[in-house]
Amino acid sequence: MSLIPHIEGVLSADEVVQTAESIAALQLDNGMIPWFKDGHCDPWNHVETAIALDIAGLHNNAERAYEWLVDIQHADGWWFNYYLPGGIVEEPKLDTNVCAYIAAGVWHHWLCTWDRGFVDHLWPTVERAIEWVLSMRRHDGTILWAKEEHATPWDYALLTGSSSIWHALTCAINLAELINEPRPHWVLAADKLRGVISNRPDAFEPKTRWAMDWYYPVLTNALEGEQAKSRLADLWDTFAMDGRGIRCVSDEPWVTAAETAECSLAHTAIGDLSTATDLLYWTRAHRTDDGSYTTGIVYPSGEHFPAGERTAYTGAAIIMAADAIAAGSPASKIFVPLFVTD
């Protein structure tokens, strides 16, 4: 039975539902969930919001979100990077990480609902997306970050994006096994990519200023055990502002609730529930009366930035972090792989 996550003194089940309802209130008739009212939408954060809706039991809204992706997917398997309401393409870039994430969303939906019919319906969309992403692989196993629609891909890979792609691949592999259509070349691709993430940091474009490059390989379980614990410990003082949250970049006092919640997920992945819970608690400074969350706060002034911005993906990340800590939904351990590769 799925339980709405509840963490005493940190985030109640009623607050989780309220946040999910604030996300659902943004959803358009076509299923798209913009970052905020009249804002744009990218497919990665769109999937994240659908995941949060499922955690809170709003499965119909989540399914409408996935149907929007089915409707607008290109025949080759990709989506554009940003869309505006009305189907307008805001940014025509094609991002491999953005396109892969639907596999994580559909696997999560299956774990929450056990709706095999919906998995079968979404499978062609997932398969096309993963095959397009893998068409951007280099010989060393890394996956190029992005390209314009009719242009040559940019010749580098990103650690954060690759870690997310690895996680999406594990979910896609699980979906393939579920429907009895195994894809061994996906397993090989996932193994090789994880090996590069674990052993060859020089294979990725340097982005060490950004917090996501620090914790994302751990959040996705691409790094495990002592390697994961050491990574989080080594840069904690660089990115964490005690009692405040996680800086989105190392050289500015800009604390973002989404990065703080994601870092909570990373600490849950290594079993450090105490730090994970502290991080989630610190996001309460961003919570508003309707359950939505402001994107960031500048310290020491306490100014919210961007001014007045409350983002759906921020609320989604907080719901996901709460679910991981509380082990509420059947998908609460989605960032712990359900299969082991050699």
How many Cα neighbours within 13 Å face the side chain of 254? 16
Contact between 323 and 268 under an 8 Å Cβ cutoff? The reply is no
- Mean pLDDT score of the chain: 95
Q: Measure the CA–CA gap between 197 and 9, rounded to whole angstroms.
A: 37
Question: Using 50, 70 and 90 to split pLDDT, how confident is the model at 329?
Answer: confident
DSSP string, 17-84: HHHHHHHHTT--TTS---SSTT--B-HHHHHHHHHHHHHTT-HHHHHHHHHHHHHH--TTS---SEEE
DSSP 197: H
Predicted confidence at residue 339, as pLDDT, reads: 33
DSSP 204: S
pLDDT tens by residue, 157-198: 999 999 999 999 999 999 999 999 999 999 999 999 999 999
Q: Measure the CA–CA gap between 333 and 2, rounded to whole angstroms.
A: 13
Domains observed in the chain = 13-326 (1.50.10.10)
Predicted confidence at residue 293, as pLDDT, reads: 98
Per-residue pLDDT, averaged over 316-324, amounts to 97
Per-residue pLDDT, averaged over 337-342, amounts to 35
Judged against a pLDDT cut of 60, whether residue 51 lies above it is answered with: yes
Q: Per this entry, what is the length of the chain? A: 342
